[in-house]
Amino acid sequence: MNTPQTTAPLRADLQLIADWIAPDSRVLDLGCGDGALLSWLQGNKNTTGYGVDLDVGNVVKCVTSGVNVLQGDLETGLAEFDSGAFDHVVLSQTIQAMRETEQILNEMLRVGREAIVTFPNFGYWENRWQILQGHMPVSDTIPYQWYDTPNIHWCMLGDFEALCAKNRLRVLERVVMNGVKRVTFMPNLRGSLAFYRVARQ
């Protein structure tokens, strides 16, 4: 197994997630992509765990980086993982593409003590402006045209928080970003990407 690179910097959004994860934690990264987050965590915080991704190319990249990875479709659930097997379960910029949004959120908190969920904020002002101009939004966080997008469930901050309340989930922390900057004033209007830490009540 290759030794993970510990010096390569993470993207700003992944770094925020990494900052929320304690050293020596057990981490499950759903839709892990090329495994950059898990590789960094292994090398810098001594974490253990797995990534799950559907794309074969991403699975190969994870293996090359020394990241434990399973190829799988998140829509089928997380039955292969025992309840309480992880400290943190991460779903980064993927929940809006899930058909069974509520199910995956509850499964995350079955197998993990805490869930970290990030998603593009549909309430961001640039998205609203494009809608007023008669077009579906296309941006850095929403990079697809309406006819080829994998995203099917758009939401804003209040929508996600209402879903958490419905399922009796507690929001431990929320951060909203625009690029590399944190947004605290009018975040639903001025922030393009939302980050949540949630747990069972």
pLDDT digits (tens, 9 = 90+) for 77-102: 899 999 999 999 999 999 998 999 99
Tell me which residue of 198, 195, 146 sits closest to 172, measured CA to CA. Answer: 198
For residues 36 and 77, what is the distance between their CA atoms, to the nearest angstrom?
23
For residues 55 and 75, what is the distance between their CA atoms, to the nearest angstrom?
14
For a pLDDT cut of 90, what percent of the chain falls above it? 82
Handedness of CA 46, 115, 61, 6 (dihedral sign): negative
User: What's the whole-number mean pLDDT along residues 34-63?
Assistant: 96
User: What's the whole-number mean pLDDT along residues 176-192?
Assistant: 95
Distances (CA, A) of 191 to 15, 49, 121, 137, 172: 17, 31, 7, 14, 19
pLDDT at residue 106 is higher than 90: yes
pLDDT at residue 140 is higher than 90: no
Any idea of the CA torsion for 171, 173, 179, 183, to the nearest 10 degrees? 100
Report helix, strand or coil for 125: helix
The whole-model pTM stands at 0.91
pLDDT at residue 130 is higher than 70: yes
